[in-house]
Amino acid sequence: MPTHPMPGRSLVTRRALVDIVRAATLGSYGVTGFAAVPLGRLLGRLGVRQPGLRVRLDDGLEIELDLTVAFGVPIAEVARQVDSAVRYAIRHALGREVSRLTIHVGGLRFSPGVVPPSALPASPGAIGPRDLADSGTDVA
């Protein structure tokens, strides 16, 4: 197998590009799925397009994602993770840079059977945020 670059062309279909982006996005911490409007969900079920994921190849590679995020995780951190994962996957698989990546968070998703943290009963003797604030300790 040659190790030096050889001139030529390669063709990557839009569907392959969408598969790369989808795999990188769903593998990211805190992402529970793609959010989509009802028409987008219908087109996704028909196999016409991936709901919540748009790819444009105009002047450069532009990707737009509509995501749902797990409840209780920092949304900004999830967005940074998705940005990094998608850019790396495209760079690694295709050798191209993403010119624009837009991430919309369309909602939060609770895991079934999990009680949100604010509704969990405090254990007896546990130190809560109010106790730390009243003690004069700086809490960041």
Q: What is the mean pLDDT of each run of 10 residues along the chain (140 residues)?
A: 70 86 93 75 60 85 92 90 95 91 87 52 58 51
Number of C-beta neighbours around residue 81 at 10 A: 19
User: How does DSSP assign 72-120, residue by residue?
Assistant: TS-HHHHHHHHHHHHHHHHHHHHS--EEEEEEEEEEEEPPTTPPPGGGS
- What is the pTM assigned to this prediction? 0.67
Q: What domains are defined for the chain? A: 14-112 (3.30.70.1350)
The total number of residues shown for the chain amounts to 140
20: DSSP letter: H
The reported pLDDT for the residue numbered 40 is: 55
The residue whose two tokens read 């940005």 is 83
